Amino acid sequence: MPDTSLPTVALPVKEGRDFLWAKTKEAFKYIYKHYLDQADFFMKADDDTYVVVENLRYMLSEYSPMSPIYFGCRFKPFVKQGYMSGGAGYVLSKAAVTRFVEDALPNKDCRQDHGGSEDVEIGKCLDLVGVKAMDSRDSLGRGRFFPFVPEHHLIPGHVNKDFWYYKYIFYESREGLDCCSDSAISFHYVSPNLMYVLDYLIYHLRPYGISHNVHGLTPTLIESSGGSEKVITGGSEKVMVEEEKLADTNTKS
Protein backbone atom coordinates (compact mmCIF):
# COMPACT_ATOMS: atom_id res chain seq x y z
CA MET A 1 0.00 0.00 0.00
CA PRO A 2 1.19 3.55 -0.67
CA ASP A 3 2.45 5.45 2.40
CA THR A 4 1.72 9.16 2.16
CA SER A 5 4.08 9.93 5.08
CA LEU A 6 7.13 8.60 3.19
CA PRO A 7 8.32 8.97 -0.41
CA THR A 8 7.54 5.35 -1.23
CA VAL A 9 6.28 3.52 -4.32
CA ALA A 10 3.71 0.73 -4.14
CA LEU A 11 4.76 -2.05 -6.52
CA PRO A 12 2.37 -4.71 -7.89
CA VAL A 13 4.01 -7.48 -5.84
CA LYS A 14 2.79 -9.50 -2.86
CA GLU A 15 4.46 -8.86 0.49
CA GLY A 16 6.80 -11.36 2.10
CA ARG A 17 10.30 -12.79 1.80
CA ASP A 18 9.14 -15.27 -0.85
CA PHE A 19 8.53 -12.36 -3.23
CA LEU A 20 11.81 -10.45 -2.84
CA TRP A 21 13.03 -11.41 -6.29
CA ALA A 22 9.78 -10.26 -7.89
CA LYS A 23 9.92 -7.01 -5.92
CA THR A 24 13.54 -6.40 -6.94
CA LYS A 25 12.72 -6.86 -10.62
CA GLU A 26 9.76 -4.50 -10.39
CA ALA A 27 11.79 -1.93 -8.46
CA PHE A 28 14.54 -1.77 -11.08
CA LYS A 29 11.99 -1.61 -13.89
CA TYR A 30 10.41 1.35 -12.10
CA ILE A 31 13.81 3.01 -11.68
CA TYR A 32 14.60 2.44 -15.35
CA LYS A 33 11.31 4.01 -16.43
CA HIS A 34 11.18 6.98 -14.05
CA TYR A 35 14.65 7.76 -12.62
CA LEU A 36 17.37 6.45 -14.93
CA ASP A 37 18.54 9.91 -15.98
CA GLN A 38 18.32 11.41 -12.48
CA ALA A 39 21.27 9.56 -10.93
CA ASP A 40 24.50 7.79 -11.91
CA PHE A 41 24.23 4.82 -9.52
CA PHE A 42 21.31 3.08 -7.82
CA MET A 43 21.43 1.18 -4.52
CA LYS A 44 19.16 -1.58 -3.30
CA ALA A 45 19.15 -2.02 0.50
CA ASP A 46 16.86 -3.47 3.17
CA ASP A 47 15.02 -1.45 5.79
CA ASP A 48 17.47 -2.75 8.41
CA THR A 49 20.57 -1.76 6.43
CA TYR A 50 22.48 1.26 7.75
CA VAL A 51 24.23 3.14 4.94
CA VAL A 52 26.87 5.87 5.22
CA VAL A 53 25.91 7.64 1.99
CA GLU A 54 28.90 10.00 2.04
CA ASN A 55 31.32 7.05 1.93
CA LEU A 56 29.27 5.41 -0.80
CA ARG A 57 29.50 8.54 -2.93
CA TYR A 58 33.23 8.78 -2.33
CA MET A 59 33.88 5.18 -3.38
CA LEU A 60 31.78 5.62 -6.52
CA SER A 61 33.41 8.93 -7.48
CA GLU A 62 36.22 7.23 -9.40
CA TYR A 63 33.90 5.06 -11.50
CA SER A 64 31.91 5.88 -14.62
CA PRO A 65 28.13 5.30 -14.52
CA MET A 66 28.43 4.28 -18.17
CA SER A 67 30.46 1.19 -17.21
CA PRO A 68 28.30 -1.92 -16.61
CA ILE A 69 29.45 -2.58 -13.02
CA TYR A 70 28.02 -3.26 -9.58
CA PHE A 71 29.33 -3.22 -6.00
CA GLY A 72 28.57 -4.74 -2.62
CA CYS A 73 29.64 -7.47 -0.19
CA ARG A 74 30.83 -10.14 -2.62
CA PHE A 75 29.92 -13.79 -2.05
CA LYS A 76 31.46 -16.62 -4.10
CA PRO A 77 28.99 -19.53 -4.61
CA PHE A 78 26.32 -19.96 -7.33
CA VAL A 79 27.70 -17.35 -9.76
CA LYS A 80 31.05 -17.64 -11.54
CA GLN A 81 32.14 -14.07 -10.78
CA GLY A 82 30.37 -14.07 -7.42
CA TYR A 83 27.33 -12.04 -6.39
CA MET A 84 26.56 -9.31 -3.88
CA SER A 85 24.84 -9.90 -0.54
CA GLY A 86 21.31 -8.53 -0.56
CA GLY A 87 21.35 -7.55 3.10
CA ALA A 88 24.53 -5.48 2.90
CA GLY A 89 23.04 -3.67 -0.08
CA TYR A 90 24.35 -3.53 -3.63
CA VAL A 91 24.87 -0.69 -6.09
CA LEU A 92 24.32 -0.77 -9.84
CA SER A 93 25.65 1.78 -12.30
CA LYS A 94 23.27 3.39 -14.77
CA ALA A 95 24.66 1.11 -17.49
CA ALA A 96 24.13 -1.94 -15.27
CA VAL A 97 20.49 -1.02 -14.63
CA THR A 98 19.97 -0.56 -18.38
CA ARG A 99 21.45 -3.97 -19.19
CA PHE A 100 19.48 -5.63 -16.41
CA VAL A 101 16.12 -4.27 -17.58
CA GLU A 102 16.64 -4.27 -21.34
CA ASP A 103 18.70 -7.44 -21.78
CA ALA A 104 18.56 -9.66 -18.71
CA LEU A 105 14.89 -9.57 -17.68
CA PRO A 106 13.54 -10.66 -21.09
CA ASN A 107 16.12 -13.47 -21.27
CA LYS A 108 14.70 -16.88 -20.36
CA ASP A 109 17.99 -17.73 -18.61
CA CYS A 110 17.25 -14.94 -16.12
CA ARG A 111 14.73 -16.40 -13.68
CA GLN A 112 11.23 -15.42 -14.78
CA ASP A 113 9.15 -16.46 -11.75
CA HIS A 114 9.19 -14.85 -8.28
CA GLY A 115 11.07 -17.65 -6.51
CA GLY A 116 14.71 -17.96 -5.54
CA SER A 117 17.05 -15.83 -3.47
CA GLU A 118 16.89 -12.26 -4.73
CA ASP A 119 20.61 -11.52 -4.41
CA VAL A 120 21.68 -14.76 -6.09
CA GLU A 121 19.17 -14.35 -8.93
CA ILE A 122 20.13 -10.78 -9.75
CA GLY A 123 23.79 -11.85 -9.60
CA LYS A 124 23.11 -14.57 -12.19
CA CYS A 125 21.19 -12.18 -14.43
CA LEU A 126 23.85 -9.46 -14.26
CA ASP A 127 26.57 -12.00 -15.03
CA LEU A 128 24.50 -13.16 -18.00
CA VAL A 129 24.58 -9.70 -19.61
CA GLY A 130 28.18 -8.82 -18.83
CA VAL A 131 27.78 -6.63 -15.75
CA LYS A 132 31.01 -6.92 -13.77
CA ALA A 133 31.05 -7.67 -10.03
CA MET A 134 33.54 -5.17 -8.62
CA ASP A 135 35.94 -5.29 -5.67
CA SER A 136 34.50 -2.83 -3.12
CA ARG A 137 37.38 -3.09 -0.63
CA ASP A 138 39.69 -0.20 0.17
CA SER A 139 43.41 -0.02 -0.70
CA LEU A 140 44.28 -2.03 2.43
CA GLY A 141 41.91 -4.85 1.52
CA ARG A 142 39.35 -3.94 4.19
CA GLY A 143 35.66 -4.40 3.45
CA ARG A 144 33.15 -1.61 2.96
CA PHE A 145 29.81 -3.47 2.73
CA PHE A 146 28.87 -5.79 5.61
CA PRO A 147 26.01 -8.29 5.96
CA PHE A 148 25.91 -8.05 9.78
CA VAL A 149 26.01 -5.47 12.55
CA PRO A 150 29.47 -4.02 13.38
CA GLU A 151 30.07 -6.23 16.44
CA HIS A 152 30.02 -9.39 14.30
CA HIS A 153 33.04 -8.11 12.41
CA LEU A 154 34.81 -6.04 15.06
CA ILE A 155 34.93 -8.52 17.96
CA PRO A 156 37.31 -11.47 17.41
CA GLY A 157 35.59 -14.82 17.97
CA HIS A 158 32.12 -13.31 18.04
CA VAL A 159 31.11 -15.59 15.17
CA ASN A 160 32.26 -19.20 14.96
CA LYS A 161 34.53 -20.00 12.01
CA ASP A 162 32.15 -22.70 10.75
CA PHE A 163 29.42 -20.09 10.32
CA TRP A 164 28.09 -19.97 6.74
CA TYR A 165 29.46 -16.47 6.16
CA TYR A 166 33.07 -17.71 6.09
CA LYS A 167 32.18 -20.24 3.39
CA TYR A 168 30.44 -17.60 1.26
CA ILE A 169 32.65 -14.52 1.52
CA PHE A 170 34.67 -13.94 -1.68
CA TYR A 171 37.69 -12.29 -0.07
CA GLU A 172 39.55 -13.01 3.15
CA SER A 173 37.45 -11.88 6.13
CA ARG A 174 39.26 -10.19 9.00
CA GLU A 175 38.25 -9.62 12.60
CA GLY A 176 39.03 -6.77 14.98
CA LEU A 177 39.67 -3.17 14.02
CA ASP A 178 41.28 -4.33 10.77
CA CYS A 179 37.96 -5.83 9.65
CA CYS A 180 36.44 -2.72 8.28
CA SER A 181 37.49 0.19 6.11
CA ASP A 182 37.73 3.70 7.51
CA SER A 183 35.32 4.46 4.67
CA ALA A 184 32.88 1.62 5.45
CA ILE A 185 29.54 1.99 3.70
CA SER A 186 26.92 -0.39 5.10
CA PHE A 187 25.93 -2.78 7.90
CA HIS A 188 22.95 -5.13 7.96
CA TYR A 189 20.53 -6.34 10.67
CA VAL A 190 20.72 -2.93 12.33
CA SER A 191 17.86 -2.36 14.77
CA PRO A 192 16.07 1.01 14.90
CA ASN A 193 17.77 1.83 18.24
CA LEU A 194 21.21 0.95 16.89
CA MET A 195 20.57 3.20 13.89
CA TYR A 196 20.23 6.14 16.28
CA VAL A 197 23.43 5.09 18.08
CA LEU A 198 25.40 4.78 14.83
CA ASP A 199 24.05 8.11 13.60
CA TYR A 200 25.25 9.81 16.80
CA LEU A 201 28.68 8.15 16.79
CA ILE A 202 29.32 8.85 13.09
CA TYR A 203 27.85 12.31 12.63
CA HIS A 204 27.86 13.99 16.04
CA LEU A 205 30.54 12.63 18.41
CA ARG A 206 33.89 14.37 17.91
CA PRO A 207 36.78 13.46 20.28
CA TYR A 208 38.60 16.67 21.19
CA GLY A 209 42.05 17.01 19.63
CA ILE A 210 41.69 14.11 17.20
CA SER A 211 41.67 14.73 13.48
CA HIS A 212 40.48 11.91 11.26
CA ASN A 213 41.89 11.27 7.81
CA VAL A 214 40.47 8.34 5.90
CA HIS A 215 43.31 6.05 4.81
CA GLY A 216 43.63 4.76 1.30
CA LEU A 217 41.20 7.00 -0.55
CA THR A 218 41.61 7.88 -4.20
CA PRO A 219 44.34 10.29 -5.34
CA THR A 220 43.77 14.02 -5.35
CA LEU A 221 41.68 15.23 -8.25
CA ILE A 222 42.61 18.52 -9.85
CA GLU A 223 40.14 20.66 -11.72
CA SER A 224 41.23 23.78 -13.60
CA SER A 225 39.00 26.79 -13.91
CA GLY A 226 40.19 30.00 -15.50
CA GLY A 227 43.53 30.97 -14.05
CA SER A 228 43.24 28.96 -10.86
CA GLU A 229 43.47 25.34 -9.83
CA LYS A 230 41.01 23.69 -7.47
CA VAL A 231 42.35 20.75 -5.49
CA ILE A 232 39.86 18.26 -4.12
CA THR A 233 41.19 15.88 -1.49
CA GLY A 234 39.08 13.47 0.53
CA GLY A 235 35.94 15.43 -0.03
CA SER A 236 37.38 18.70 1.28
CA GLU A 237 38.27 21.57 -1.00
CA LYS A 238 41.22 23.94 -0.99
CA VAL A 239 41.67 26.70 -3.47
CA MET A 240 45.31 27.11 -4.32
CA VAL A 241 47.15 30.08 -5.78
CA GLU A 242 47.45 30.27 -8.94
CA GLU A 243 48.36 32.75 -11.21
CA GLU A 244 51.90 32.78 -9.86
CA LYS A 245 52.13 29.00 -9.96
CA LEU A 246 50.78 28.76 -13.48
CA ALA A 247 52.99 31.64 -14.61
CA ASP A 248 56.02 29.87 -13.12
CA THR A 249 55.08 26.63 -14.89
CA ASN A 250 54.62 28.43 -18.17
CA THR A 251 58.02 30.13 -17.78
CA LYS A 252 59.78 26.79 -17.20
CA SER A 253 58.07 25.17 -20.15
Give me the half-sphere count of Cα atoms (radius 13 Å) on the Cβ side of residue 49.
22
Residues 6+ apart with CB under 8 A from 176: 154, 155, 156
Which domain, by its residues, includes 53? 17-203
Do 45 and 81 share a domain, yes or no? yes
**214 in any annotated domain:** no
Residue in 161, 166, 90 with CA at minimum distance from that of residue 122:
90
Do 37 and 131 share a domain, yes or no? yes
Do 57 and 127 share a domain, yes or no? yes
**Contacts of the segment 29-33: beta carbons below 8 A, 24+ positions apart:** 29/101, 29/105, 31/97, 32/97, 32/98, 32/101, 32/102
Residue in 139, 143, 144 with CA at minimum distance from that of residue 186:
144
**71 in any annotated domain:** yes
Do 148 and 37 share a domain, yes or no? yes
Q: How far apart are CA 65 and CA 86, in angstroms?
A: 21
Q: What is the pLDDT of residue 245?
A: 40
| Rounded to 5°, angle at Cα 151 from 156 and 212 | 95
Q: What is the pLDDT of residue 214?
A: 62
**116 in any annotated domain:** yes
Do 237 and 172 share a domain, yes or no? no
Do 199 and 227 share a domain, yes or no? no
What domain count does the chain have?
2
Do 124 and 246 share a domain, yes or no? no
Confidence of residue 121 (pLDDT cuts 50, 70, 90): very high
Q: Is the pLDDT of residue 132 over 60?
A: yes
Confidence of residue 237 (pLDDT cuts 50, 70, 90): very low
The 10s digit of each residue's pLDDT in 147-184 is: 999 999 999 888 888 899 999 999 988 999 999 999 99
Do 99 and 183 share a domain, yes or no? yes
Do 171 and 238 share a domain, yes or no? no
Q: How far is CA 157 from CA 63, 141, 186, 215, 221, in A?
A: 36, 20, 21, 26, 40
**77 in any annotated domain:** yes
Which segment of 38-42, 69-73, 217-221 scores lowest on mean pLDDT?
217-221
Do 84 and 134 share a domain, yes or no? yes
Q: What is the pLDDT of residue 12?
A: 85
Residue in 115, 54, 87 with CA at minimum distance from that of residue 187:
87
Please state the rounded mean pLDDT for residues 48-77: 97
Do 110 and 225 share a domain, yes or no? no
**10 in any annotated domain:** no
The 10s digit of each residue's pLDDT in 64-75 is: 999 999 999 999
